[in-house]
Structure 1
Amino acid sequence: MEKPYLSPLFFLFLFLKFLSCSATEYHDTYKDTSIIFFTNGRAFYFFDVYSLPILDTPQPNQEIRITDGHSVNFNGQFPSPSASSVLISLLPNQTAIRLRSDPPPLQLIYVTERNDGVSNIYFDAVYNQASRNARSRSALESVPDRIQIPLLADNVILNRVSMKDKPTVSGEYLVYVSTHEDPGIPQESWAAVYSTHLKTGLTQRLTPQGIADFSPAVSPSGTFTAVASYGEKGWQVDCEVEELSTDIYVFLTRDGSQRVKAVEHGGWPSWVDDRTFYFHRKDDDGWWSVYKATMPADGPVLTETVTVERITPPGLHAFTPATSPGNDKFIAVATRRRGSDYRHIELFDLVKKEFKELTRLISPETHHLNPFISPDSTHVGYHKCRGEPKGDESRQYILENVRSSIPGLSLFRFIGQFPVFSPSGDRITYIRTTGPSGKIWVMNSDGSNNRMVYDKMGFSTAWDPVRPGIIYTSTGPSFASESKNVDVVSVDIDSEETDNYKVLTLDGKNNAFPSPSPDGKWLVFRSGRSGHKNLYIMDAVEGEKAGLQRLTEGPWTDTMSIWSPDGDWILFSSDREQPGGRVFDVYLIHPNGTGLRKLIPEWSGGRTNHAYFSPDGKSVTFTSDYSAISAEPISVPHQFQPYGEIFTINIDGSDLKRLTHDAYEEGTPAWSPKYIEPINVEDPMGQYCNFEDCRFLKEMPSPSAPPFPFPPTQPPPPPPTQPPPPPPKQPPPPPPTQPPPPPPTQPPPPPPTQPPPPPPSPTGIAATVASTSVLLTTFTLDQPNKVILAV
């Protein structure tokens, strides 16, 4: 019998049909749904970038706010003169700009989260009030007071959302950190250093594949870049949430080649010349301090040939150092002193070996972060919280839209913990973290009717799927031992009675994280009644008195349980692989105790928690340390677990997607069956700047000598005043619609004033950098239209 002939077109049809089915399944899982999650502290930051002149005694009226009061703006840099000319050439309205005889007096490169909560790098050219007055009734009145452009293409078309950080412009190139590439290894950071040609968009990765780099700094000539990096040893999951065990690596900026380890144990490098940089580390005496590294004038750069000298003395924490080209007189540092709850910016005199205060004299009860110095050493910049908004400045949001990379899915950052949508998606219950914190609140999804419904301390929330207005929570202390009194309660949020709750558990031994079955008959929860935290099931209405079924048993912790929408599975987190440690994985089990399996079998040794089913039960969202840490923790305010990011994955362990990219701790995600329009909802109870500095900076070693004092010659700080109002905001131009071109094949030409280095030593970079004359820009704030170029 002749075999039937199957045309190649038939196989092509089957292949396309398979792709179509896969795409439909993917689309249906996320279509018309929303995910909501909590971010630690981020709702209260309201950072703007400011500048102060470096004078004997700074005054409040000398502080200039450079950024515009919209969103969160941080990690600024003043561009060098050569970079300034390149940046101005990128501006859209150059005809008007060229009518001026000099460039704008204030130029800034910085990170901003104004693009739907996702960071990008911007350039602002700003005329201050004096220059506006000077330009009145002139031909330049059409020139805006602020010209603002993004320096990187917006990858909306490519659906690539990532964190951008720590930018520097060197010549025609932007050097920065991005997290858009997954190394494919659990608990490995996605942070890597990239270089983008500003005029063409050609981008290349400078960090080797499989390696993470943080806090890049480019040398004055642009020849070298220094970074904080783990190298090949990777992130230590168990202990690195405060100080990272990074070393300082140096490589050629043009292509990332000739990479060598220059210093062991250090972070946040800052170059003063092409063979000298400062960095910070926590010393053996317990103090964060600034050090200077000097590379050899010739010969290979190795940890054995680089000279390291401690610069700041013990007695206070000094970190995130900044310097300027050729500056051998002082550095700028952030400090945390004994007896102070605030981080401030100070100068350290390298000749007199003493500190000089800056920001405490102006805003004594405000945190100031991550200083940077102008190329001519006349101004210091930093970012701080701007306070309550004025005019059209950004408000505090209770529900903040974050750009989603998944079609059909909207994503929201929420101001409270354990936010959960009601079954219909029209209400949200959550734990308030400010004001009457720790209490249970409910609001409509548009932010209206926001009210407290349970006035006792609680954590975790869940809605009853069949009885409207009934929510479940845990009342008592969180992060408590098995023997602590914690109970599961149901709360009728629509009842007008004051006694609107019912305690469902009888044994108060840490009963928590209740989740109802989809028919509303049962509750799964964790309990420490056996001496270990395991899972149990009880009646959802009558509670434990109607009977109790034990679901898991063992000398470990099973917790954070959630029932699947079809009732077949229960998700939970467990440390059963390493009981009592910091390792948690997500597991699935049937309600009858069978079918136990790990959600992602190949993961181990990390922390994955707070799993939540998609509305169709085919996918799961959770928070995890899969992508490790994205920035040095000391460079941001306090984060308990800065590695927490939000992910989704299919229940078969396939198709992992990272949803959030930032340096903050994100957690307690929940998935709604209703699509919420991606808009921001203002918080009527706005509390601005309500965040704390890194808690580990409170740790002050017992002094063997009196603590390093504030300079005795400084006058008492004057009362704080409001910074001058910002110039009117100009909308940024629309983002580019084309993806960036492929990486360049040719490196940038070397700086004209820098002789080419000799052939490299087989063991590393030959540090033959001679002293280099550097072109400096002078900022003259009392003459804002005058910019002096000096050699």
Structure 2
Amino acid sequence: MENPLPLSFFFTLLLSCATADRGGGNSRTTILFNSDGRTDYNFDVYTLPVSDSQINAGNELKITDGQSVNYNGHFPALSSSTSLLLSHPRYQTLAAAVASPPVHVVYVTERNGSSSIYLDAVYYDDADHARRRSMLQVPNRVQLPLIGSQHSNSLISLKDKPSLVGDYVVYVSTHEDSGVPRKSWAAVYSSHIRTGLTRRLSPPGVPDFSPAVSPSGVWTAVASGGEDHWSGDMEELDTDIYVFSTEDGSDRVKVVEHGGWPTWADDFTLYYHRKADDGWWSIYKASLPKSGRVGVESVVTQRITPPGIHAFTPAASVADKSFIAVATRRRDSKYRHIEIFDVVSKQFREVTRPISPTLHHFNPFISPDSTRVGYHRCRGPANGGGGNHLLFEHLRNPKPEISLFRNYRPFPSFSPEGDRIAYSAMPGLYVVNPDGSGLREIYSGMVFYSAWDPKRKGVVYTSMGPIFAPVSSEVDIIAVNVDEDEFTYRKLTTDGKNNAFPWPSPDGKGIVFRSGRSGYKNLYIMDAEKGEKGGLFRLTEGPWTDTHCNWSPDGDWIAFTSNREHPGTDLTSIYMIHPNGTGLRKVFTSGSGMSAHPIFSPDGKSIVLTSDYAGVSAEPISIAHQYQPPSEIYTIKLDGSDHTRMTHNTYDDGTPAWGPISMRAADVVLQSNGRGCNFNDCYWITFPDNTKAEDEVAQTLGGNAKIPCGN
């Protein structure tokens, strides 16, 4: 039976909270958050000759520069890329000095705190090139940023599968709100490189993914819709393929039902992928009529790749129509690889596995002359790209008064003064200064979450035990003093029934937390000094989960996550309640989705949270390196208005913190010897006629657990 808190404690708590410091006076603040697994890999774009006799490690070229994450490349037509590069003096100098012509590539990059599209001309020469380069004193690369935040009103946007058509770039951006919860913001745009003039090609409110421009440049094909079938997990979207005019988006027509990732062999031939009825991901061919009405009823489709091998993200060959490039998953490998598929003989030919058998290779593309195939993979040594990580990665965001950073590990929290940051490594609790100095491990055991005491300097509260555990699991709240020479902890809960997510009141007298002691995860308040031995006040009660609780700086409100409208599910919303249990109200929801981890701003006027409100930003099959269903970081006012999307990516962004200082707008490097790129393919890429391996992996995760896209 619960031991109620003394009434004198409770009324003192309310009085002190009502008169607490409201945290005003500092208009510059910082939001930290974690993207699940994002810091464990870096991609570059590579290329190999298509010719079987030339496929070897010595002929693999890295054609991006190793800065940040570079992916989804495209070999542009020479007429398009050279017209943009010819005026660049470095391009002219290198062209005169280096015998071999450059490799031109358009690609997506996440450098400089936002997603952009770059055009590079990369020069490779014989052994004498090093001497010539030394003489020239110029690098062997010419690099032009094509599309950045200036094309989306200074908002960060996701760019997917870009194409360069003359002086125009066709790409995907997520900067316009669809206006509907869990409906994707992804849409296709065209931007003129020289003037910046940008036009939306997708109809209002319609999500389009994976655009491909036809060889003539007249038509663009997209994978569209699919969200009516989206359950919220990373899985096939079941999109359809539409074709429209590249110039203005007109003459839009559906040509294929159930297909994704279109690619053109010519203006009347499309290849695409989808999951076949027999369970195998396969490549299909769509032949469009050369005259008459174009539509689903007039387009002839046929399956190209056979069952027994998963094949997806095709790239058509324009100059040599006898083959396509695909990414595959074979039964005898847990990695994706690039292969050439002969559409005449129906035979596969492996490209990347003989060179890098234990690395994933993604999203192939073929050069205009059909002699080279490109793809992206992890860069670095054979283990997949280990080395240094970014402890804090600075990101651009639409609110200039807020500094936004991606944190290396989850559950960051700021000290009351903002001079220190705690985070969980699971296992391990760490403390570091905002500039990256003073990094220390405070506790080596399995803990998650962190919150600083506002009155007891150096005291951090955390949850000791397994995360994502049932209500009866042994999880307790502990207090750790990070300023002690020998770190010890003080246990505040005694029953061990999944007590987690502690947050102290502004006066330091109480702690709100969630507990499974009743058989359900609900919210309680206990004495910050004596713990639950000093008494408990039950804040919420019901057969659902209330969790992720956070106390407002003025003490008036407690924000939390709850699935009370959908008990037993992952469908959660953000609620607020007074510390005396009155005034319950919902402040944010993504509809039939997930919103979680609310944290008040230092001035108590806003909340930062994570949510899948914006749906998916790309075809999930094309982003197999991602670990979880997508969530983004948002800020809202306390009345639920003015929701602002702070991040635009394909990652699972979560566990935010909002601190009272403005961190310097620069990345902070963490020295690390960790192994990068050690992730699995998506759990839903299974082998239909052999489920034994999947069952064995599920057992290692606890029975029927799904294998996420990642570690």
Whether the aligned pair in 1 keeps the contact of 2:168 and 2:190 (CA below 8 Å) is: yes
Whether the aligned pair in 1 keeps the contact of 2:522 and 2:544 (CA below 8 Å) is: yes
Match of 1:378 in 2: 371
1:83 to 58, 80, 87: 80
TM-score, normalised with respect to structure 2: 0.89
Q: For 1:85 and 1:469, locate their aligned partners in 2 and report how far apart those are by CA, in whole Å.
A: 59
Q: Does residue 1:478 correspond to 2:467, yes or no?
A: yes
Structure 1 counterpart of 2:459, which letter?
Answer: I
Matches within 5 A, 1:739-750: none
1:632 and 1:704, CA in 2 relative to 1: closer, same or farther beyond 3 A?
A: closer
1:518 to 489, 506, 518: 506
Match of 2:64 in 1: 67
Structure 1 counterpart of 2:669, which letter?
Answer: E
Local SS of the residue matching 1:322: strand
Q: Which moved more, 1:123-132 or 1:537-546?
A: 123-132
Match of 2:702 in 1: none
Match of 2:18 in 1: none
1:39 and 1:597, CA in 2 relative to 1: closer, same or farther beyond 3 A?
A: same
Q: Deviations over 1:166-203 (max 9, x none)?
A: 11012332111111111222212111101112233222
Q: For 1:481 and 1:160, locate their aligned partners in 2 and report how far apart those are by CA, in whole Å.
A: 40
Match of 2:566 in 1: 578
Match of 2:145 in 1: 150
Whether the aligned pair in 2 keeps the contact of 1:509 and 1:529 (CA below 8 Å) is: yes
Q: Deviations over 1:593-651 (max 9, x none)?
A: 011111137x5322110110000000110111111111112222443434200111111
Matches within 5 A, 1:350-361: 350-361=343-354
Match of 2:598 in 1: 611
Q: Does residue 1:190 correspond to 2:177, yes or no?
A: no
1:703 and 1:212, CA in 2 relative to 1: closer, same or farther beyond 3 A?
A: same
1:101 and 1:299, CA in 2 relative to 1: closer, same or farther beyond 3 A?
A: farther
Local SS of the residue matching 1:541: coil
Q: Deviations over 1:197-221 (max 9, x none)?
A: 2233222110000111110001111
Matches within 5 A, 1:106-121: 106-116=103-113, 118-121=114-117
Matches within 5 A, 1:301-450: 301-387=294-380, 395-432=388-425, 437-450=426-439
1:468 to 439, 454, 457: 457
Match of 2:541 in 1: 553
1:168 and 1:180, CA in 2 relative to 1: closer, same or farther beyond 3 A?
A: same
Q: Does residue 1:685 correspond to 2:672, yes or no?
A: yes
Match of 1:130 in 2: 126
Matches within 5 A, 1:694-773: 694-696=681-683, 699-703=686-690
Q: For 1:350 and 1:372, locate their aligned partners in 2 and report how far apart those are by CA, in whole Å.
A: 16
Whether the aligned pair in 2 keeps the contact of 1:50 and 1:383 (CA below 8 Å) is: yes
Higher relative contact order (CA 8 A, sep 6+): 1
Give the fraction of aligned pairs with identical amino acids, expressed as a percent: 55
Q: Deviations over 1:657-709 (max 9, x none)?
A: 11111111100010000111011111112425234133325522224999xxx
Q: For 1:275 and 1:704, locate their aligned partners in 2 and report how far apart those are by CA, in whole Å.
A: 39
Local SS of the residue matching 1:604: coil
Structure 2 counterpart of 1:377, which letter?
Answer: S
1:536 to 524, 541, 544: 524
- How far off is 1:405 after superposition? 2.4
Whether the aligned pair in 2 keeps the contact of 1:45 and 1:385 (CA below 8 Å) is: yes
Whether the aligned pair in 2 keeps the contact of 1:189 and 1:627 (CA below 8 Å) is: yes
Local SS of the residue matching 2:297: coil
1:524 and 1:92, CA in 2 relative to 1: closer, same or farther beyond 3 A?
A: farther
1:478 and 1:235, CA in 2 relative to 1: closer, same or farther beyond 3 A?
A: farther
Structure 1 counterpart of 2:664, which letter?
Answer: E
Whether the aligned pair in 2 keeps the contact of 1:387 and 1:688 (CA below 8 Å) is: no
1:683 and 1:409, CA in 2 relative to 1: closer, same or farther beyond 3 A?
A: same
1:619 and 1:90, CA in 2 relative to 1: closer, same or farther beyond 3 A?
A: farther
Q: Radius of gyration: which is bigger?
A: 1
Whether the aligned pair in 1 keeps the contact of 2:115 and 2:148 (CA below 8 Å) is: no
Whether the aligned pair in 1 keeps the contact of 2:102 and 2:122 (CA below 8 Å) is: yes
Whether the aligned pair in 2 keeps the contact of 1:315 and 1:703 (CA below 8 Å) is: no
Q: For 2:640 and 2:545, locate their aligned partners in 1 and report how far apart those are by CA, in whole Å.
A: 22
Q: For 1:161 and 1:554, locate their aligned partners in 2 and report how far apart those are by CA, in whole Å.
A: 40
- How far off is 1:552 after superposition? 0.6
Q: For 2:25 and 2:173, locate their aligned partners in 1 and report how far apart those are by CA, in whole Å.
A: 29
Q: For 2:390 and 2:572, locate their aligned partners in 1 and report how far apart those are by CA, in whole Å.
A: 32
Q: For 1:301 and 1:145, locate their aligned partners in 2 and report how far apart those are by CA, in whole Å.
A: 46
1:379 and 1:705, CA in 2 relative to 1: closer, same or farther beyond 3 A?
A: farther
Q: For 1:136 and 1:430, locate their aligned partners in 2 and report how far apart those are by CA, in whole Å.
A: 49
Structure 2 counterpart of 1:198, which letter?
Answer: I
Whether the aligned pair in 1 keeps the contact of 2:595 and 2:610 (CA below 8 Å) is: yes
Q: For 2:148 and 2:457, locate their aligned partners in 1 and report how far apart those are by CA, in whole Å.
A: 46
1:143 and 1:426, CA in 2 relative to 1: closer, same or farther beyond 3 A?
A: closer
Q: Which moved more, 1:45-54 or 1:693-702?
A: 693-702
| Structure 1 unaligned residues grouped into runs of 5+ | 1-26, 707-791
- How far off is 1:158 after superposition? 4.3
1:280 to 273, 276, 296: 273
Whether the aligned pair in 2 keeps the contact of 1:612 and 1:670 (CA below 8 Å) is: yes
Q: Does residue 1:568 correspond to 2:556, yes or no?
A: yes
RMSD: 2.7
Match of 1:660 in 2: 647
Alignment size in residue pairs? 667
Q: Which moved more, 1:293-302 or 1:267-276?
A: 293-302
Match of 1:709 in 2: none
1:180 and 1:322, CA in 2 relative to 1: closer, same or farther beyond 3 A?
A: same
Structure 1 counterpart of 2:110, which letter?
Answer: E
Q: For 1:617 and 1:578, locate their aligned partners in 2 and report how far apart those are by CA, in whole Å.
A: 28
